[in-house]
Amino acid sequence: MTSASVFVTATALGVTAILASSALAFAVVRWLGVAYLLFLGVQTLVKRRPPARRETGRGVYRQAFIVGIGNPKTAIFFLAFFPQFVDPARGPAAAQILILGSLFVLVGAVFDLSYALSAGALRSRLLNRPGAPAWMRRISGSLYLLLGGWLAATGSR
């Protein structure tokens, strides 16, 4: 949700308009996101981790932030979506966008937290099964590769 907060702030400041209007800026951010997703996919599939080692909260947060900030489609979404709800008669547009964005981030955080808690409970159950960590790694790595491929293939405006 931190990356969404960055995009909300950038939208309120008009920075995402630059990303939307510059094909080069959009392409650079998109290809950086593609490269990172593919890197994560290959790393997850190839790297063998000992079962006792767990990712730190900071490491997971960093990965999620990089993936989120590397998706320029989020910036385009905010740029296209929020202005429809801005009423110039009700005050500065930037303030209205920040309020709408804060609500978006709050709702997203509630849903993401529920997904995370459910996934954590499911992970604990799955790790007790023989062979499950290897399957989880294969599925995760494949999903990263699929997402990277999808982002690369759907990049044209």
Domain extents for the chain?
A: 2-152
Nearest to 30 by CA among 38, 44, 101: 38
Q: List Cβ neighbours of 9 (8 Å cut-off, separation of 6 or more).
A: 98, 101
| Identity at 76, one-letter amino acid code | I
| Identity at 132, one-letter amino acid code | A
| Tokens matching residue 29 | 């951010």
User: Each residue's pLDDT tens digit in the chain (157 positions)?
Assistant: 788 888 888 888 887 777 667 778 777 877 887 888 898 889 888 876 655 456 678 888 888 888 888 777 777 788 778 878 888 899 888 898 899 999 989 998 999 889 888 988 887 787 778 887 788 888 888 998 998 888 888 865 5
pTM value > 0.75: no
